[in-house]
Amino acid sequence: MQPLIYLDNNATTRPAPEVIEAMMPYFTESWGNPSSMHAFGGNVARPVAQARESVAAFLGAERPEEILFEGCATEADNHAIFGVTSAWGQPGTIITSRVEHPAVLGPCLRLKEQGHNVIEIGVNAEGLFDLEAYAAALEATPGPKLVSVMWANNETGVIFPIQRIAELGKAAGATVHTDAVQAAGKLPIDLRSVPVDLLTIAGHKMHAPKGIGVLYVRRGTRMKPFVLGGHQERGRRGGTENVPYIIGMAKACELASTALTDGSEKQIAQLRDKLEAGLLATCPDSRVNGCRTNRVPNTLNISFEYIEGESVLYHLSDRGICASSGSACAAGSLEPSHVIRAMGVPFTAVHGSIRFSLSRYTTEAEIDSTLRHVPEVVAEMRALSPFVKH
């Protein structure tokens, strides 16, 4: 069997062996309920409390009780948006961006149906956030306001100026949420200097398993619980704590902190840049989507003109390479990626956009192998295309 080259880390990541190791005792030995009034269960409460402290430290949160463990990042995004807006008791305004993840766009659509005012801020051709339009929207809307803008984009890796977005939002009296799922572990996050009220991260995008998300809620943020029916998470999210995954999440945060300081993340950027330069040099009519100087270090979104993404992915898969596409067919819908379209990418390139996303487990040999295979696939697909002048 050919080796697997996994370059789809914005979709999900390999669970770190250290994370799995840390989790195992909570499946096999310490499987009690932390709320129990006996030592067997109660003893599990302490590691959960320590895990909360680790996650708080990773994010630069002031207190551990600002950390809520949830089922996934989509739940955390839903909790943030519905929790804040339902505490208003009146219609208000939600300001978001046109390139958000569906976990944010979905709840915003529901709120619009319920009579709230939803404003989507656009991006420019490089995928950069339109701060001017955002400031104008803040100024033009009276009444309660929620801002929900992502920290880094999942498809292009483009980083939004979240510090400035939060400062402007707070100055206008808004509650500010950011979906930081694609930023966590790739960029330093310090909530002491970034004044957001709410922040979402996902375990499985940073080498913990699927099934755990975190919602940071700054002390004093007015919001209602989203999952009702339990005293857990101080009544803000009912449901027995998912102990092994909470322990795994904390371990993943510790490992990510180390990787951000020991140079691992720099190495990812070097490999990404090598892949990018190599593909641009060997595949004619290709273009990078998204601002190249303001991106998370692991992401490359590249369009190969005149060919279609799904076909490219299937051929790469046959060669053991895992990537992703903003192409309509690959997404199971008929419309190509809303992110790529919001950037005004020319229609010749929209359907052929491919996303490569690396991790600290990616090796140079894997990048070299990818650089040999991709140009072959692109040439093969172009030989089939009616739009290439042969």
Partner 1 sequence: MWDYTDQVMDHFRHPRNVGVIDNPDGKATVGSLACGDALTFMFKLGEDGKIAEAKFQTFGCASAVASSSALTEMVIGKTLEEAEKITNREIAAYLGGLPDQKMHCSVMGKEALEAAIHNYRTGEESVVQVHEEIVCTCFGVSREEIERITRENNLHSVEEVTNFCKAGGGCGMCRDRIQEIVDEINHSAAAAAAPAPATKKMTVLQKIKLIEQTLEEQVRPVLRKDGGDVELIDVEGDVVRIAFRGMCAGCRSAAITRDNLIATALHEFVDPAITVVME
Which positions lie near partner 1, rule CB under 8 A?
306-308, 310-311, 314, 317-318, 327-330, 332-336, 347-348, 351, 383-387, 390
CB 245 within 8 A of CB 209: yes
Whether 329 is catalytic is: yes
Strands (E) across 189-260 are located at 198-202, 213-217
Decide whether 187 or 328 has the Cβ nearer to partner 1.
328
Cβ nearer to partner 1, comparing 145 with 351:
351
Find the distance separating the first CA and the last CA of the chain, reported in whole Å. 35
Nearest approach, Cβ of residue 322 and partner 1 (Å)? 11
Residue (of 249, 247, 163) closest to 214 by Cα position: 249
CA nearest 134: which of 170, 167, 163, 168? Answer: 168
From the CB of 319, what's the least distance to partner 1, in Å?
A: 11
Q: Which CB sits closer to partner 1, 33 or 385? A: 385
Question: Least distance from C-beta 333 to partner 1, angstroms?
Answer: 7
Smaller CB distance to partner 1: residue 193 or 333?
333
Of 92 and 309, the one with the shorter C-beta distance to partner 1 is 309
| CA-CA-CA-CA dihedral for 52, 213, 183, 132, to nearest 10 | -110
Angle at alpha carbon of residue 158, lines to 374 and 211, rounded to 5°: 85
CB of 317 to partner 1, least distance (A): 8
As measured in angstroms, the least distance from the Cβ of 187 to partner 1 is: 31
Kindly report the number of other CB atoms within 10 A of residue 342's CB atom.
Answer: 18
- Lookup result for tokens 């005012």: 117
Helix (H/G/I), strand (E/B), else coil: 339: helix
Nearer to partner 1, 112 or 292 (CB): 112
Q: How far is the CB of 336 from partner 1 (least distance, A)?
A: 7
Q: Which is nearer to partner 1, 142 or 332 (CB)?
A: 332
Cβ-contact 376, 280 below 8 angstroms: no
Structure tokens at 143: 């009444």
Min CB(385)–partner 1 separation in Å: 5
Residue partners of 270: CB distance under 8 A and separation at least 6:
none
Residue 294 or 385 with smaller CB distance to partner 1: 385
* The residue count for the chain: 390
CA 243 vs CA 41, 250, 345: distances in Å: 11, 11, 44
Q: Are 62 and 114 in contact (CB under 8 A)?
A: no
In single-letter form, the type of residue at position 60 comes to G
Beta-ladder partners of 121: 97
Which helix (H) or strand (E) segment is 175 a member of? strand 175-179
Residue 324 C-beta: closest distance to partner 1, Å: 12
Beta-carbon count within 10 A of 376 CB: 13
Helix, strand, or coil (residue 180): coil
Strand-strand pairing, 286-288 and 324-325: unpaired
Annotated catalytic sites, by residue? 329
